[in-house]
Amino acid sequence: MTRQRQVGDEFYEYYSGHRLRLIRHLHANKGFDIETAIRVGQKLIDRVLFIAFCEGRGVIQPRTIETAVGRASRLAKVRNPVWRSFLELFRAVGCPGRLFRKIDSHHSSLFGTDDLIDGLDLDDVPWTDLFRRLARYDYAREVNVDVLGQLFERSVAELERLREGALLAKDTSHTEAPMMPKSPQRKLFGIYYTPVEFTSAIVAYTVDEVVAERLEAVRRAHKLTDEQLREPRKAKAAKAFWRACLEAMKRVTVCDPACGGGAFLIEAYEAIYRHYAHILTELQNLGARNTMELCEAIPDLILAHNLYGVDLQPEAVETAQLALWLRTAQPGGALADLSSHIICGNSLTEDPAVHARAMKWQEAFPRVFSGDHPGFDCVIGNPPWERLKLQEREFFALAAPEIASTVNAADRRRRIAKLKTANPALHARYLDAQSSAERMLAYVRRCERFPLSASGDINAYLLFAELAAQIVAPHGRVGLLVPSGIATDKTSARFFEAIMAGKRLHRLYDFENRRRVFPDVDGRFKFTILDFGGSEVRRDTADFVFFAHGVEELEERKRHIPLSAADMKLMNPNTGTCPIFRDRQSAEITRAVYRRVPVLIDRNRKQGGNPWGARFMTMFHQTNDAELFTTADELKRKRYQVDRNRWTKGKSTYLPLYEAKMVQAYDHRAASVEVVEANWVRQGQTVETTLVEHQNPEHLAMPRWWVNAEVVAERLKEQTPPALLCYKDVTSPTNQRTMIASFIPPAGVVNSAPLVFTEGPSLRRQCCLLANLNSLAYDFIARQKVGNVHLNFFIVEQLPTFPPDAYDDRCPWSSKQTLERWISNRVLKLSCTADDMKPLAEACGFEPPVHKWKPAEREQLLAELDAAYFVLYGLERDDVLHVLSTFQGTRGEQRAASESEAQDALSPAGRRIVDAYDALTRQS
C-alpha cells in the first residue's frame, strides 16, 4: 500500500469519526434537528478543509489556522477563545483585502453569512483540536485532489447512513453498525466512488475527442494545415486560428447529471485545462497579447463556460462545489459562483408533485439548450445503480436489521406492520419512502420521456442513460460507467437496440470486478464504459472489449472486437441485445453457429419460429408466494406424517419445493437445503449429496419448504408429466457452467429454477432438448449472452437450439441409430438414478427404470454427449479445443503456449471430451 493510500485511509477514518461526533453533539446538545446538525457540522468541516488545503497549495499564507489559534489570547476573557478566533477566521475569508476578495454569500454557500454557525457556541476542546488536526495533513502531496475526491464520494454516502441511525437514536459508528453486506449498503445509497483510471478513460473518450473534433472543425474553417500554422509568414492567420480555438473551447459544455462529489467534473476540468493551456501556449509563442492574464484566468473560464452538474442530494452538490473550489483556488482570487452550474435537482423528473426537487433541463441551463444545436457537448458520469422499486431488505438494513434479516417475505411484511405501534417514526418513514418510489415509478412510466427504458424492473442507471441520449447535443458524446446489463438485459434491450440501429455507439468496454475496483461489490459483477454519440453521430461498427479487469488491458489490440447492428440481429434476433465475447475467435465461432442452427424461439417469424412449442414457467415466486410455503416444523405441529420428502395427512399432501441450489446437470438430488438463521443474506444453505447417498436410489433431496400438492396441480393446469424440465436461473458467465438443466419429479418449484414445457415432441425428444441445453457447445454460446447473474427467458429463447425434427436423422457416427435414440439413452442413464424418477424411465420405455449411479460411467456419458453436440454444431477440432480452454472444468492448470499443446493443456475431463470427439468424427 502506498504512503498516499495509507495517509488517505488514516485521514478518512479521522475525518469520518470526528465529523460523526460533531454532528451528534450538535444534535444532542445544541438542539439542532438531524438535518440541520448534518448541514452545520458538514459546513464547518468543509470550511476548515478548504482553508487547510489552500494553505498546503500556497493559495493563502502557510500556518493560517495555527495563526488563528495563536491569536486566541486576545480573547482570553471569553470561555472559548480558540473557537471565537476560528469564527473570526471564517469571516476573514470573505472580507476584502484579507485572505480572499469579497465572497458574496449568495455566490458561496461555504463562507457566506450563516446565522447558525455565526451564533454557534462550541467548546475549544475537543472541537477546535479537530480543526487543528485536520490542518496538519500534507495537502500538497499526500492528501491531494484525488484523495479528497474519494473522501467526498464516501462522505456523501455516509451522511445517508447517519440519517438512518439517527432516526432510531442508534449508534452508527463503524464498530457498532448493524451487520450487513456492503454491496447492498452501497446500492442503498446509489453511490459508488469511481476510481480515477475510469474517470480519466471516460473523459478521454468524450471530452478530449470532442475538443479535438471542434478544433479540427476550426482548422478546416480557417483552411490551414499543420505545416502552415508553423510558417512565420502565416503568423497572423495562425493567431486568428488559435483565438478562434479559444472561443471554440468556451462553447464546449460538459455535464454530469448525477455528479455526486464531483469526481467526473474534476477530471473533465483537468482535461479542459490542458486544452486551454495548449492553445494559450501557441498564442504566447506567436507573441499574442494578454496571454499571461488569460493563462491565469483558465480556471475562471472553465467554471464559467464549460462545467455543469446536477445531483439530488444537497450535500453532494456542496461537496462537488467544494471540490472545484479546492482545485481552482488562487492567491487573491474570488471563489467562482457555481450556483447556476452545479445545482441541486432531480435529473429524472420535471413534475414537482413527484419530487420537490423536480427540474426542467431547458430552464435550469437555458444557455446550453438555446441555439441551433441544443444540448451538452459531453454528458459523463457514473449514475446510481439502483432499482426504483423500494427494496425492503435494503431499506431496513441499517434502521431495523432484524427486519432486513427476515428472508421470508410474508414474515417480513408482518414485522413491518408491527412497526406501526412499535416504532411509528420508522413506519412512517417506510411508508413515505414507499410512496416516493411508487410516485417516481408511475411518473417515468407515464411521462413519455423514457420510452426506451421505463419498462420492467426499472433501474436508475438506464433512465440516466436515456436522459443522457436526450440532453447531449446532436454532435456530442456520452460517456457513462454503468452495469454491463445495459447491453445484455431485456429491460435495456430497446435502448441498446436503438443506439445500435442509429449507429451511435462508439465503444463498449466491459469489465469484471475481479480486482475489486468497487471494493464493496461482488467480484463477478460486470460493469461497462459506454460511449455513444449524439443523434447526428454515425459509426457502422462499434469497438467492443469484454471481460477486462483493468483499464490498462484496453491497450491489448487482440481484445478489441468490431461488432455491428447486423451482428446483434443475427445473434439476438428478438431483442438486438449484445453478446459478450472474450476474444475474436469466440466471436467467429458464435457467428458461424448462428448461421447453421436456428434459435429456440424466433419471434420475428410468423410461422415456424417455435418448432418445439416451447414455453417457460415460474411456478412459484419465492417472495410473492411466500404465504403458500410451509416448513417441516409447521407440518409436524399440524400432525402431518413424513414420507421420504413428502408430508401427508389423510388426502392432503405437501410436496417438496425445489430451489435451483438443489439441482445440478442431470441430477435432481444434488443437494438438500438447511436453514442457517444467522446468515440473513443466504439463510438457505446447501448440504451436498454424498457419493454413498447418490448410490442409494431411495435417498431424496430435502428442501427447506413444502407446498400443497393441490396448489402445484393448479399451477400446472392439471398437466402431470412424469418429470419436469428445469434450469438454474441464477448464474454467471464467469461460473464453471452457465446453463445447468435437469429433469425433476413433479413438485413445487420456485422462480430460481424456471420450467421449460414443450408441445408435441415425445419424452425421448425432450431428453434430447435437455442434452442440448446441458452441452458445452450450447453453454459456450450461452455465456456470450449473460450480462449479469440471470439466465433469463429472453436469453434462452435466442440461443441456437436444434429443432425436434433434427433428431429424426441418423447419427453421423452411427447409421444404425437415430440421434434421438443415441442421445436419449444417455440422458436417461444420467437422469434416472432414484426411485422418484421411475415414472420418466417407464414412460420412455427405458430399462432398468433406476440406473445405478456410477461416477466413471457418468463422466464418459457426459463426454460423449458434449462431443456429439460439438459435431452437430459443426465445430472443427481447433474450435473445440478453444471452447474447452474457456471452461474452468475442462481447461488445465497451465494455458497452452501453442495450438499443438492445446489438448495436453486440458484437464482430464477436457481430454475425455476431445477423445470422444475424435472417435465420433472418425466414425462419421
* pLDDT tens, residue by residue, 181-240: 343 333 333 445 688 899 999 999 999 999 999 999 999 999 988 888 888 888 899 999
The DSSP secondary structure of 212-273, one letter per residue, reads HHHHHHHHHHHT--HHHHT-GGGHHHHHHHHHHHHHHHHT--EEETT-TTSHHHHHHHHHHH
Q: How far is CA 32 from CA 26, 47, 115, 117, 143, in A?
A: 6, 19, 13, 12, 31
Residue bearing cell 444540448: 375
d(CA 642, CA 635) in angstroms, rounded, equals: 9
Predicted pLDDT of residue 187: 37
Please say whether the dihedral angle defined by the alpha carbons of residues 548, 554, 555 and 557, taken in this order, is positive or negative: positive
142: pLDDT confidence band, cut at 50, 70 and 90?
Answer: confident
Q: How far is CA 558 from the centre of its chain?
A: 26
pLDDT of 168 above 90: no
Mean pLDDT of 62-67: 82
617 strand-pairing partners: 755
d(CA 751, CA 754) in angstroms, rounded, equals: 6
Rounded to 10 deg, the angle between the 3-29 and 145-167 helix axes is 30
Mean pLDDT of the chain: 88
599: pLDDT confidence band, cut at 50, 70 and 90?
Answer: very high
Residue bearing cell 467467429: 588
Q: Residue 20 belongs to what H/E stretch?
A: helix 3-29
301, amino acid identity: L
372: pLDDT confidence band, cut at 50, 70 and 90?
Answer: confident
Going by C-alpha positions, the residue among 817, 886, 645 that lies closest to residue 745 is 645
d(CA 282, CA 208) in angstroms, rounded, equals: 18
Q: Identify whether the C-beta of residue 366 lies closer than 8 Å to the C-beta of residue 192.
A: no
Going by C-alpha positions, the residue among 119, 1, 98 that lies closest to residue 51 is 98
Mean pLDDT of 812-829: 96
Tell me whether strands 724-727 and 748-749 are parallel, antiparallel or unpaired. Answer: unpaired
Predicted pLDDT of residue 171: 44
d(CA 867, CA 914) in angstroms, rounded, equals: 7
736: pLDDT confidence band, cut at 50, 70 and 90?
Answer: confident
275: pLDDT confidence band, cut at 50, 70 and 90?
Answer: very high
401: pLDDT confidence band, cut at 50, 70 and 90?
Answer: confident
Residue bearing cell 485511509: 9
d(CA 847, CA 441) in angstroms, rounded, equals: 56
Predicted pLDDT of residue 182: 41
d(CA 752, CA 620) in angstroms, rounded, equals: 9
d(CA 122, CA 688) in angstroms, rounded, equals: 61
271: cell is 482535461
569: cell is 440481429
Least confident segment among 134-138, 417-421, 545-549, 720-724: 134-138
Mean pLDDT of 129-137: 84
169: pLDDT confidence band, cut at 50, 70 and 90?
Answer: very low
Predicted pLDDT of residue 183: 38
SS3 at position 641? strand
d(CA 882, CA 116) in angstroms, rounded, equals: 68
Q: How far is CA 559 from CA 549, 562, 581, 582, 878, in A?
A: 12, 10, 9, 7, 20
Predicted pLDDT of residue 455: 87
H helix runs in 447-583, sequence order: 460-471, 485-488, 493-501, 565-571
Residue 651's contacts (CB-CB under 8 Å, 6 or more residues apart) are none
Predicted pLDDT of residue 809: 95
Q: Identify whether the C-beta of residue 621 lies closer than 8 Å to the C-beta of residue 751.
A: yes
Predicted pLDDT of residue 244: 96
478 strand-pairing partners: 379, 532
Mean pLDDT of 500-506: 96
d(CA 677, CA 696) in angstroms, rounded, equals: 30
Strand residues in 262-405 grouped as ranges (E)? 307-311, 342-344, 376-381
> For residue 730, is it left (φ>0), alpha (ψ between -120 and 50) or beta?
beta
7: pLDDT confidence band, cut at 50, 70 and 90?
Answer: confident
d(CA 443, CA 241) in angstroms, rounded, equals: 48
240, amino acid identity: A
Predicted pLDDT of residue 1: 46
d(CA 46, CA 35) in angstroms, rounded, equals: 16
Residue 813's contacts (CB-CB under 8 Å, 6 or more residues apart) are 868, 871, 919, 920, 921, 923, 924
255: cell is 455535464
Predicted pLDDT of residue 158: 74
d(CA 140, CA 315) in angstroms, rounded, equals: 25
174: pLDDT confidence band, cut at 50, 70 and 90?
Answer: very low
Q: Residue 190 belongs to what H/E stretch?
A: none
Provide long-range contacts, Cβ within 8 A and 24+ apart, for 236-245. 238/282, 238/286, 239/283, 239/286, 239/288, 242/279, 242/282, 242/283, 242/286, 242/288, 243/283, 243/288, 244/218, 245/215, 245/218, 245/279
Predicted pLDDT of residue 896: 52
Side-chain-side CA neighbours of residue 402 (13 Å):
5
d(CA 742, CA 915) in angstroms, rounded, equals: 25
For 320-361, the pLDDT digits (tens) are 898 898 888 777 667 788 989 999 999 999 999 999 999 999
Q: How far is CA 808 from the centre of its chain?
A: 45
Going by C-alpha positions, the residue among 377, 531, 549, 372 that lies closest to residue 465 is 531
Predicted pLDDT of residue 90: 85
Mean pLDDT of 107-117: 75
For 839-884, the pLDDT digits (tens) are 999 999 999 999 999 999 999 999 999 999 999 999 999 999 999 9
Going by C-alpha positions, the residue among 561, 549, 552 that lies closest to residue 487 is 561
d(CA 16, CA 134) in angstroms, rounded, equals: 11
> Is pLDDT larger for residue 730 or for residue 151?
730
Mean pLDDT of 447-453: 94
H helix runs in 57-104, sequence order: 64-70, 81-93
d(CA 428, CA 416) in angstroms, rounded, equals: 11
Counting every residue written for the chain, the total comes to 924
Neighbours of 414 (CB within 10 A): 12
Q: Provide φ and ψ at 252, rounded to 5°.
A: -80, 120
768, amino acid identity: C
Rounded to 10 deg, the angle between the 209-222 and 235-250 helix axes is 140
Q: Identify whether the C-beta of residue 65 lies closer than 8 Å to the C-beta of residue 135.
A: yes
529 strand-pairing partners: 481, 509
Going by C-alpha positions, the residue among 674, 650, 801 that lies closest to residue 727 is 801
Residue 888's contacts (CB-CB under 8 Å, 6 or more residues apart) are 735, 736
d(CA 351, CA 653) in angstroms, rounded, equals: 53
Mean pLDDT of 890-907: 67
Mean pLDDT of 601-617: 95
Q: Identify whether the C-beta of residue 512 lies closer than 8 Å to the C-beta of residue 547.
A: yes
Predicted pLDDT of residue 753: 96
> String of b and e for 76-85 (b: at least 16 CB within 10 Å)?
eeeebbbbbb
For 623-682, the pLDDT digits (tens) are 889 899 999 999 999 999 999 999 999 999 999 999 999 999 999 999 999 876 555 556
Tell me whether strands 810-811 and 814-818 are parallel, antiparallel or unpaired. Answer: antiparallel
Going by C-alpha positions, the residue among 468, 474, 463, 462 that lies closest to residue 210 is 474
What is the Cα gyration radius of the chain? 32
pLDDT of 900 above 70: no
d(CA 13, CA 155) in angstroms, rounded, equals: 11
